[in-house]
Amino acid sequence: MKAYHQKFNEFIEIARKLNGIGITPLLMGSVGLEVVTEKSWDAQDLDIHVPGDKRGWEVPPETSIHNWNEIVNIMNSMKYRLIDLHEHEFSKDGLSVEFGIIDTLPDFAGVRLEDLEMHRKGEVKYYLLSPEQYLRVYEASSKDSYRADQNNHKDMGKIEYLKNQINN
């Protein structure tokens, strides 16, 4: 079993509950990239994007994500605890789950929401980025000095891999 499967299965359980309140989440980050490329990127956490205010960080964290209180209730019901409101980060058994705002993608990385591809696992609906969309996101992220410092520039390997895959 591939390493990302356990995290992906946890994402599917969270997505199932989000679908129940009318949210179709986007699986971002390394777990999403692992699903798309079928290659391990040593994913450490789950990054899930949901609808919110497209101004992102300019808005107070408790109001920037739509249905935030319902999302908190879902995560609490799954035994996660909120550990960082600013990052919208939850934790359970060593797994960190962070929520981002899907509506920031067009301005941040030029990824149009209407171009996102919907996927299904059973009755659960979710979005995944294409390799080209991932490339745009990682290139935009690499220009963010905070992210570059936090990730020790490991995104550069993802960028090179994606460029090679897209060009071949």
Write down the pLDDT at residue 1. 44
- Which one is predicted more confidently, 143 or 109? 109
Average pLDDT value for residue range 125-141: 95
Is 119 contained in some domain? yes
Write down the pLDDT at residue 2. 55
Is 72 contained in some domain? yes
Q: How confident is the model at residue 156 (pLDDT cuts 50, 70, 90)?
A: confident
Write down the pLDDT at residue 141. 87
Q: Which helix (H) or strand (E) holds 146?
A: helix 145-150
Q: What is the pTM of this model?
A: 0.91
Distance between CA atoms of residues 125 and 83, nearest Å: 27
DSSP-assigned letter for residue 56:
G
Is 142 contained in some domain? no
Q: What CATH number is attached to the domain comprising 41?
A: 3.30.460
Structural domain range at position 119:
4-130
Is 19 contained in some domain? yes
Is 154 contained in some domain? no
Q: How confident is the model at residue 109 (pLDDT cuts 50, 70, 90)?
A: very high
Write down the pLDDT at residue 100. 96
Is 146 contained in some domain? no
Is 159 contained in some domain? no
Write down the pLDDT at residue 3. 55
Residues 6+ apart with CB under 8 A from 32: 26, 47, 128, 129, 134
Q: How many domains does the chain have?
A: 1
Is 103 contained in some domain? yes
